[in-house]
Structure 1
Amino acid sequence: MEPIERLLAVFPKRTISLGELEQLIQPFVRTYDEFSEIILRLEAERALEMVKSKGRTTRTPSLAFQYRIHKSRFIEDYHHELQRYQNRLHPAIQLDDYYGKDPSVWNNDVPFILKIDEYLKTHSLPSEPVPAPERSMELVGDEKWITEGDGKKLLERIGLFDRLRIIPVSEPLMLAVHPAKIEEVVQLHLIVENKTTYQALLPTLPDTAFSTLIYGEGKAIISSIEQFSLQYPVKADHRFYYFGDIDREGIAIWHSLAKKQPVSPALPFYRACLQKDPASGKDYQMERADALDAFLAYFAPDEQKQLQELLASGQYYPQEMLKTRELQQIWREWQWTS
């Protein structure tokens, strides 16, 4: 897709004035004749259609004062461009995801994709895992591109993140292990948001059906969960449960984590909290409707109503609402595998 067509494809409005076209195309032309030649060609291709009510200029050649942009024309060219690139790129690079995205995403990504293509054609897919900054430097010459830029998302879009053997750079996962459970086929893991709850539950881990107790450290768990398979390299059917504060922030942490690692709310703990008198003072937290809807889906209708009313009033349940003995009893006695 030509640069000018790319710019028109992502122009935020359906119509464009002649003045806006001049600003858009100015970097690519030097004279009015060159500018008008491009506009008239786009008219002839029906990519730009004159808005008749606005009229045309008296200059020669004459141009319309305003045009409708037929972006479907550009999309067709865009898809042809993707096909051309797919045929020349390393076969490990997949462009299917871009067909459903705005061309601007492709425009931003293609310089990096060409660098990745060069790397793969020179070195092929790596056989040894290395930390993200090292792989990032190898791929695009920027050690922060994967961890701090858009590198991870781009590599996922082209189907390469997992195949490039990238060791995530995040804080180590803080966990305690129940040695007797390591060889079980189905293994349970409990993640708790706060340190107080972690310390309260830790002594009773050997008396539970769980293989690990994981300290989430608030939002840190969203990235540190990536370290789980490295720190606990045990092949099993791993099932995760999460217990956090019953407030909008705690629910949002669970929801963000669940997008990366399937994890169920540890319902016995949450339901025990609902039997207590709530605390007040969280009315300042932002509502995250998608997170709340996903969380409520695990609860019975009466519990859903209670939770909605609780959060709407600015009330909440901190994990510390449950005392040590109660936490331990729930964890030890509940039939988690039923």
Structure 2
Amino acid sequence: MIRAKNPQVISFYQLDEKYLINSTAFAPISLLSDKQLYLELTTGLFHRLGNNYYLQHLQEYKEHRPYILRISDLVSSRPAETLTANERAFELFGDEKALTSPEHAAFDGNAVLKNLELTLEDIGAEIVYEPFVYTRSKMFDTRDITPVRTILIVENKDTYWTLKNAVLHSDLDYIDMVIYGEGKAILSTFRYIEEVGGRVNDRYFYFGDLDREGIEIFNLFRKKYSEYEIVPAVKYYEYMINKVGVENAKAIRTHQKVKDYSSFIGYFSDTTGHNIKTIVENNLYIPQEAINKTDIKELRVIGLQ
């Protein structure tokens, strides 16, 4: 192991020393020959770090060396605390996005971990998910022993608010949890369902605007989380169409694309499917805000599917 005569702390953005792992630094890179770097890679790093990649790419090792030395010290000390990936990334690379969003970071921390044959678990880090807003019914926990519970994901804020109040007051007692999907945000936040008690075998329903974008969100949502059985809230869509009428559907304000709506239509009766096709193909839409507090009694009777 090659050490400098006057050890220096390797610093990122002038962090306090208490945040630094490699407080006894290796010799400066400018003082080392390729032969010495080879020796450092084979004998100086903690044994759990894979060295095959960097033995064949010494120039990259020179560039990544400050980070690798930190990682070596961290892994050898067996970190007692598991940090979030962003916290650990800031500690190791000086950039909180280096592990979770390397494309938006100054440095790709994932590439270094891959080169060293390490995982997030090896460096005491874990991915945490963006939370979503949700409301559980009063009976949610008592139904934990039942085979399945019913969870409704709603695209827009106002409709979530209306249905949330109905669920809390047991006016829609067939819904155990309602989630605010926040448009396309649900595509990245839904994994948080594991943290709030949702299970793969629960029943999941989606309800959004009846337009091209709303259908596309459903398609992407169902595809990304295919382990969950996510289906449209058929009765709510049918009720919304019947309440407003196809002839009163509004023109879409902005251009929208949908790659495929046939699979979405397949969940509905022929009549409703035809109405949805008419709305979509004529660039029309019905916002889910067409359903409001005055409709709760009807929704209680018709259910979701």
Q: What TM-score bracket applies, with the shorter chain setting the length?
A: 0.5 to 0.7
Q: Name 1:280's counterpart in structure 2.
A: 250
Cα distance, 1:215–1:152 mapped onto 2, change above 3 Å = farther
Tell me, what secondary structure is at the counterpart of 1:204? helix
**2:219 is the counterpart of 1:267:** no
Conserved? CA contact 1:184–1:236, under 8 Å: no
Instruction: Select which of 97, 103, 106 maps to 1:144.
Output: 97
TM-score (norm 1): 0.53
Q: How big is the shift at 1:121?
A: 11
Deviations 1:32-56 (A, max 9, x none): xxxxxxxxxxxxxxxxxxxxxxxxx
**In the comparison of the two structures, how many residue pairs are matched?**
224
Q: CA RMSD in A?
A: 4.0
Distance (Å, rounded) in 2 between the aligned partners of 1:300 and 1:271:
9
2:212 is aligned with 1:248: yes
Residue of structure 2 in register with 1:174 after alignment: 133
- In 2: Cα distance, 1:215 partner to 1:194 partner: 7
Which structure 2 residues correspond to residues 190-269 of structure 1 after superposition, within 5 A? 190-205=152-167, 206=170, 207-230=172-195, 232-233=196-197, 237-261=201-225, 262=228, 263-269=230-236
Shift of 1:286: 2.3
Q: Deviations over 1:158-177 (max 9, x none)?
A: 9967997623352x311111
Q: CA deviation at 1:269?
A: 0.7
Aligned-partner SS, 2:102: coil
Q: Which amino acid in the other structure matches residue 84 of structure 2?
A: P
Contact between 2:174 and 2:303, CA under 8 Å: does it hold in 1?
no
| CA–CA distance in structure 1, aligned partners of residues 285 and 98 of structure 2 | 39
| 1:220 to 1:236, Cα distance in 2 relative to 1, 3 A | closer
What is the CA deviation profile of residues 187-235 of structure 1, one whole-angstrom value per residue up to 9, with x for unaligned ones? 21111112221222223212412221112222232223232222x1466
Which stretch of the first structure deviates more once superposed, 218-227 or 128-137?
128-137
Which of the residues 75, 89, 92 maps onto 1:123? 75
Asked whether the 8 Å contact 1:188–1:209 carries over to 2, the reply is yes
Residues 218 and 129 (structure 1), Cα distance of their counterparts in 2 relative to 1, 3 Å cut: farther
> Per residue, is there more helix in 1 or in 2?
1
Could you list the per-position Cα deviations for residues 144-185 of structure 1 after superposition, in whole angstroms to 9, with x for gaps in the alignment? 1344335799899x9967997623352x31111113122243
* Structure 1 position 307, deviation (Å): 1.8
Q: Do the aligned partners of 2:85 and 2:120 also contact (CA within 8 Å) in 1?
A: no
Secondary structure, counterpart of 2:268 in structure 1:
coil
- Taking only the aligned residue pairs, the percentage that are identical comes to 27
SS at match of 2:202: strand
Distance of aligned partners of 1:258 and 1:138 in 2 relative to their CA distance in 1, 3 Å threshold? farther
Q: Which residue among 274, 282, 290 is the counterpart of 1:305?
A: 274
Shift in alpha-carbon separation, 1:181–1:286, aligned structure 2, 3 A:
same
What stretches of structure 1 of length at least 5 have no aligned partner?
1-88, 92-110
Q: Any idea what SS the aligned residue of 2:257 has?
A: coil
235 and 217 in structure 1: CA distance in 2 versus 1, 3 angstrom threshold: closer
Query: Does structure 2 conserve the Cα–Cα contact (< 8 Å) formed by 1:191 and 1:214?
Result: yes
> Match of 2:289, as an amino acid?
E
TM-score (norm 2): 0.58
| Pairing 1:132–2:85 present | yes
Deviation at 1:241, TM superposition (A): 1.1
CA distance change for structure 1 residues 184 and 145 in 2, over 3 Å: closer, same or farther? same
